[in-house]
Amino acid sequence: MFETLKEQPADKILQLMQLFKEDPRENKIDLGVGVYKDASGNTPIMRAVKAAEKQLWEAEQTKAYTGLAGDPAYGDAMVSLVLGDAVPRSQVAAAATPGGTGAVRQAFDMIRMANPAARVFVSDPTWPNHLSILKHMQIETVPYRYFDDETRGVDFDGMMADLDAVKSGDVVLVHGCCHNPTGANLNMTQWKALVELLLAKGAVPMVDIAYQGFGDGLEEDAQAVRLIASSVPECLIAASCSKNFGIYRERTGLLMAVAQDPAKQKLNQGTLNYLNRQNFSFPPDHGARLVTMVLTDDALRADWQAELEEVRNTMLGLREQLAGELQRLSGSDRFGFIAQHRGMFSRIGATPEQVQTMRDDFGVYMVGDSRMNIAGLNKTTVPILAEAIVKAGV
Ligand code: PLP
Ligand code: TYF
């Protein structure tokens, strides 16, 4: 049977991790995979998470199964973190998932179940896993313009023009904040215009929010998803705790289905539970439990928020430093977009050849589409990167 299998394309981001490992140069710089790193290149366990883990070890009495949707307290805590009081809790169905990826996958499954003819509109570019999963599930995917190669900001006119083709029952996938891979984001005026278009078309928004707290702050980063959830009749939200709690390997995510019609909540919750059962039964609990503890304990929460702010401000500082350094070296303002972008990533608009030159000549590893992870830098490596960017002719 297995002889019928075909080689599957590798994930380019994960491939790059391997290439970096194999490079013997000591001064190489890893700007690849989206993992936060401090100035010494470590990905620390956040203080509040570590403290919660200690408490949990003392207090946990059982490892028996939770529910199909995970621990309800986790759902409540995360719905509140993401949606605030934008919609009544009674309108939200929520299920824990293995990571944000699990939430994305379950969301696509629910879409296909509800409307097998639904097309999913995705930003060009988007996180490669979106495309890979959609293709695997044989869901029709339609790209919409997103990134302006000239300004390195959002091509909002192009985006709206392409979304004019959306039909009732189609799904429009958006990144709630900190767009991956570009770092370019809509402003609130643009989000409002997008919501108007979705309402006019009868399209269902799906929001992937994997970096809440990494852009402009926990509340600020949730503004778009809250606007959407409170404006449209139905939407799906896939949230990840991997980055903002630093618990990548614990696989902690949440899928939310929001409906203005309260009668739909029960059906949606039942569907989310059903889909969890079809795919993995009970979702992982350890990370979810830590998140719940951190979010519901005042002291832990305050410490988590403080550390998340440190992380966010460190990345903003690196953005400012890099933009400044590039302005000095290039004698132009054309790299100002790096300080405007938000989140871990910026697509700098280099050609694949220029990306390769930076790798060969300077040991700088960014993804082939010229996405760099800002958190892979520190004060000392910023000038090295700036020189590489300018010398490669970007
Ligand atoms: N969505 C986007 C846009 C991402 O960048 C990521 C990666 O971190 C995820 C979802 C999900 O990540 P995870 O499955 O590790 O929670
Ligand atoms: O985009 C990134 O780098 C993160 C991490 O298959 C990631 O989202 C990368 C590839 C992948 C899963 C997660």
Q: How far is the CA of 107 from the centre of ligand 1 (A)?
A: 14
Domain 11-46+301-389: CATH superfamily is Aspartate Aminotransferase, domain 1 (3.90.1150.10)
Q: Return averaged pLDDT per consecutive 10 residues of the chain, 394 residues in all.
A: 94 92 95 94 96 97 97 98 97 98 98 97 97 97 97 97 97 98 98 98 98 98 98 98 98 98 95 98 98 98 98 98 97 96 97 96 95 96 96 94
Q: How far is the CA of 35 from the centre of ligand 2 (A)?
A: 8
As for ligand 1, residues whose beta carbon falls within 6 Å of it are 34, 99-101, 104, 127, 175, 180, 208, 210, 240, 242, 248, 253
pLDDT of residue 317: 98
CA 32 to ligand 2: nearest atom: 3
Question: Which protein residue has the closest C-alpha to ligand 2 atom 2?
Answer: 34
Active site residue 192: no
pLDDT of residue 19: 94
Of 209, 213, 177, 210, nearest to 306 (Cα)? 213
Question: Which protein residue has the closest C-alpha to ligand 2 atom 5?
Answer: 34
In the chain, domain spans: 11-46+301-389, 65-296
Active site residue 210: yes
pLDDT of residue 51: 98
| Fold held by 65-296 | Aspartate Aminotransferase; domain 2 (3.40.640)
Catalytic residue among 243, 304, 339, 369: 243
Catalytic residue among 48, 118, 210, 288: 210
The Cα 119–Cα 133 span in angstroms is: 14
Active site residue 127: yes
pLDDT of residue 138: 97
Catalytic residue among 30, 148, 162, 208: 208
pLDDT of residue 218: 98
Regarding the beta carbon of 255 and ligand 2, being less than 6 Å apart is answered no
- Predicted TM-score (pTM) of the model is 0.97
Q: How far is the CA of 30 from the centre of ligand 1 (A)?
A: 19
